[in-house]
Structures are given as structure tokens and as C-alpha cells.
Amino acid sequence: MKSKLYSSDGESKAEIQLPLVFNSPIREDIVAKSIESEKFILRQPYSSYEEAGKRHSASGTIRHGRHRWKGHYGKGISRAPRKKMWRRGNQFYWIGAETSQSRGGRMPHPPKGIYSYRKINLKEKEIALNSALAATFNLNYIKKRYISLQDKKENIESGVIESLPEKLKILALTLRKIYGDKLDIIFKNRDVRAGKGKRRGRKYKSNAGLLIIKGKDEKGKFSGIDVKTLPEINLSDLYPLGRLTIYTKKALEELDKKEEKR
């Protein structure tokens, strides 16, 4: 498979042969399985403090037997754990503590912060990533992902650039030359959502924008565009399949070396 090679100014220079990874068959079933597994791996663990709501001297020794110390025979109160606020002789003023129904007590079923990962084989992970990389140069998957491109005759493809510009202004001019007026797809945009979602914790909606995959020694960090090296890429960066991606020449060389080692 071949792709267009662009200079750092955005001018089309020649065609470049892509590594064999991009000829991989696209296995949507394995990609779906792998993305589910990755969700569990990338999940942020959260839980309450183990001792939260339990740091009281409420022993729960209230008894209803006769002639017992701290006994509540005939008082008409439950045996729920209580902490002592004051004492006058053998009379006590108690407040419920520790239990979930009492003020300042523990949560009934707090999140434990322990999650089981969904297992997936290493070969399946490799097939899924190869499929996602191959889909970046597949026009059918690109049109399927970007709804605004479905009714238009012109095709927008992923490409290869010789090297990354140092400044965002120069990169914006380069991308304008390559993709024309499609900068709303290329750069990340954030809009206020219409409807009730604004009241439900999802006020904003945003697009993913372009992904640039660079070599490990190349420098480049731009706002509004994701820039990653090959080891940094997760499957979620390329999912749904068909994300517009720009590869640098060095990134493709690293992919070639990776294949040779296998």
C-alpha cells in the first residue's frame, strides 16, 4: 500500500510505500473485544477511605439486662452502636455512630477500589492494534467514522509528513494545504450540548480531531491536536476505526523496524 508524502510545508512530494502493518485484515470483532478490555485497564480506581465513618469509640455494648453497667433496661432504645457524649452517674447521653443509618457513620456499600480486569490474549491485542492502524488508511472506515464526509464526493485520507513543524501556526498552515477547509474535523472543537444533557454532567461535546504519530526522538506538542509516539498509542486513540492520522517518516521507519524484529 502507498500513501502521499507531504513536506513540512504541506506540499505533495511523492508517494511512499507503507509498512506491511497497513495491509493487515481489519478484524472488527477482535477490535471490539480489545476495546472493552482496555476500558477496564484504563479505568480510574476510586474508593472511600477504609476507616471512614468508623473512627468513633462506639463499642456497641449497650445491653438491656438488669443491673448492668451501661445497661439500658427499660429505656426503650435499640442496641445500635452509640458514642457517649456525657455521663451523670449511671445515666448516659448517647448518639448513634458507626452504622450506615447514623450521622457521620460509614457508607453502607462503598466502592472498594478493587476491579477485575477483562482478560485478552496478547496476540489478539496485537491484531486489534494492527487492524486499527490499517483502518486509518481505509477510505470506507474514514467515511463511516466522519458523518460530514459521507455525502461528499471528495475523499480525505490519512497521510505521511516528512517532519513536524516547530510551531502551531506553521502546522495549521500545513494542514490547511493538505486538507483544505476541513479544519473543523482536524482541530478539536468543544461546543455546548443542546438539551437536558447540560444538567446531567455532560454540558460539552467535543470531537477527537486529528492524530499525529511521531518518532520517539521528534519533538512536537500542539494544543487542539493529539501528538503521540508509537509506544504511547492505545487502541482507544484509534477507535472508532478510521481516525484521520498523520504519520511522520520516522514513525513509519520505527514501524518497519518493529516488524523486522518479529
Residues 171 and 64 in one domain: no
> pLDDT category, 12, cuts 50, 70, 90?
confident
Separation of alpha carbons 255 and 142, rounded Å: 22
Its domain, for residue 81, covers 44-114
The per-residue pLDDT for 9 is: 87
For residue 184, what is the enclosing H or E element?
A: helix 183-186
Q: Report whether pLDDT(64) > 90.
A: no
Angle, helix 28-41 to helix 122-135, in steps of 10 degrees: 110
Last residue of a domain, one of 83, 114, 145: 114
The per-residue pLDDT for 241 is: 94
Q: What is the distance, to the nearest Å, from the Cα of residue 179 to the centroid of all Cα atoms in its chain?
A: 27
The pLDDT > 70 percentage for the chain reads 97
User: How does pLDDT run across 180-193, given as a tens digit for each residue?
Assistant: 888 888 889 899 99
- What mean pLDDT do residues 62-75 have? 84
CA distances from 34 to 48, 81, 117, 212, 239 (A): 30, 48, 12, 22, 11
Q: Report whether pLDDT(151) > 80.
A: no
Residues 86 and 126 in one domain: no
Assigned domain for 35 exists: no
Last residue of a domain, one of 114, 147, 174: 114
Residues 104 and 205 in one domain: no
**Separation of first and last alpha carbons in the chain:** 20
Residues 192 and 141 in one domain: yes
Last residue of a domain, one of 59, 94, 114: 114
The pLDDT > 90 percentage for the chain reads 48
Tally of domains within the chain? 2
pTM of the entire predicted model: 0.79
Assigned domain for 165 exists: yes
Q: What cell was used for 182?
A: 476541513
- What mean pLDDT do residues 147-153 have? 74
